[in-house]
């Protein structure tokens, strides 16, 4: 059942934009939306003033129809097509597409040996001399010579040889403590103690204590010095941001809290942030952002908050 009514002719550009805006709201409140979806929505709204106005109109209607929100939140194939960011065409199999985008690690994540959900952290004793600390939304599978980090973030402590696969790279260490993060198709490796070898596409780099590197489909990035305490603050239930954009801060917060913060103001997203957040604060972080940056907050079902 369509709870929206648009005063435009069927098939016109206006009706198409309003329909896509409606689809975005249904997706956001479905419980299936991801951080990538939030980024895609920002891009959709930024395509033109008409796109942004259509979403604003849909949002106002949504707020006016509070009694129907529960019905709209239930899965409905007609509105679940995700056409807004698939270019207007439904995938051949919506179910398969949903698995790929909503399960950390994709299909492989479904059968991961070790996992954590939103906001959860977990310790795993892999074997004697090797321990893992899994951060939020992490999926890890055992491999013959070690483990594979399918998605998420893990602190690894080794007192005997271990190989870690993450994305297109392989990490090897015998006596070390290091942090590996595999999110948004990019891997970030930080050496906390000791040293490890990082190999990507035949190129091997030694990473010493206090050094960090990233790699993705484009290859290895440079080795840089980092504040390891800030990198590992999540182990103390804290998130630390030093001169990060508000857009990046919100993306990171979304990994830890149920629901989603969706930033719709591009200019606001480029504001620089120096902050420390306890994970216990994240339930009310939208109000902190509102008060600090003058953002407008619109609450939707499922813990979704639109920031504009």
**CA distance readout (Å), 231 to 12, 140, 199, 263:** 50, 20, 22, 24
Q: Are 120 and 279 in contact (CB under 8 A)?
A: no
Could you say which of 2.60.120.1440, 3.40.50.1970, 3.20.20.70, 3.40.50.720 is the CATH number of the domain covering 111-226? Answer: 2.60.120.1440
The secondary structure element, H or E, covering residue 151 is strand 146-158
Note the helical H segments in 74-202: 94-102, 106-110
pLDDT per residue of the chain (308 residues) written in tens, 0 to 9: 344 444 444 456 678 888 898 888 888 877 777 777 888 888 898 898 899 888 888 877 877 665 554 554 444 444 444 444 333 333 323 333 333 344 555 555 677 999 999 999 999 999 999 999 999 999 999 998 899 999 999 999 999 999 999 999 999 999 999 999 999 899 999 999 999 999 999 999 999 999 999 999 889 999 999 999 999 999 999 999 999 999 999 999 999 988 889 988 888 999 999 999 999 888 888 888 888 888 888 888 788 898 98
- The Cα 32–Cα 301 span in angstroms is 13
DSSP string, 280-297: GGGGGHHHHHHHHH---E
Strands 122-127, 114-115: parallel, antiparallel or unpaired by DSSP?
Answer: unpaired
pTM of the model: 0.75
3-state secondary structure labels for all residues of 99-135:
HHHHCCCHHHHHCCCEECCCCCCEEEEEECCEEEEEC
**How long is the chain?**
308
Cβ-Cβ contacts under 8 Å for 109 (sequence gap 6 or more): 103, 115, 139, 150, 151
Structural domain spans, the chain: 13-102, 111-226, 237-307
Token pair belonging to 212: 């960090």
Indicate the fold that domain 237-307 takes in CATH: Phage tail protein beta-alpha-beta fold (3.55.50)
């Amino acid at each position: 059942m369509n709870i929206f009514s648009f005063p435009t002719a069927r098939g016109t550009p206006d009706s198409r934009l309003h329909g896509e805006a409606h689809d975005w709201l249904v997706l956001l409140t479905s419980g299936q939306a991801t951080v990538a979806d939030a980024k895609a929505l920002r891009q959709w709204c930024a395509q033109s003033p008409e796109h942004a106005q259509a979403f604003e109109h849909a949002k106002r209607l949504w707020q006016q129809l509070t009694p129907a929100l529960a019905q709209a939140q239930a899965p409905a194939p007609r509105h679940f097509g995700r056409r807004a960011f698939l270019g207007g065409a439904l995938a051949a199999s919506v179910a398969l597409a949903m698995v790929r985008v909503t399960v950390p690690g994709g299909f492989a994540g479904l059968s991961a040996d070790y996992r954590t959900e939103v906001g959860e952290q977990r310790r795993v004793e892999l074997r004697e001399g090797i321990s893992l600390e899994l951060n939020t939304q992490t999926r890890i599978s055992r491999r013959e010579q070690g483990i594979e980090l399918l998605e998420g973030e893990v602190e690894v402590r080794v007192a005997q040889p271990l190989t870690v696969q993450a994305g297109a790279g392989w990490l090897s260490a015998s006596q070390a403590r290091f942090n590996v993060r595999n999110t948004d198709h990019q891997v970030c490796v930080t050496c906390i103690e000791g040293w490890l070898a990082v190999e990507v596409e035949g190129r091997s780099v030694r990473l010493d204590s206090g050094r960090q590197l990233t790699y993705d489909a484009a290859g290895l990035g440079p080795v840089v010095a980092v504040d390891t305490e800030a990198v590992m603050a999540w182990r103390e239930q804290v998130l630390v941001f030093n001169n990060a954009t508000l857009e990046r801060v919100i993306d990171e917060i979304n990994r830890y809290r149920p629901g989603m913060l969706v930033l719709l103001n591009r200019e606001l997203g480029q504001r620089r942030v120096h902050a420390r957040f306890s994970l216990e604060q994240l339930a009310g972080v939208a109000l902190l952002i509102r008060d600090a940056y003058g953002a407008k907050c619109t609450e939707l079902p499922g813990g979704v908050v639109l920031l504009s």
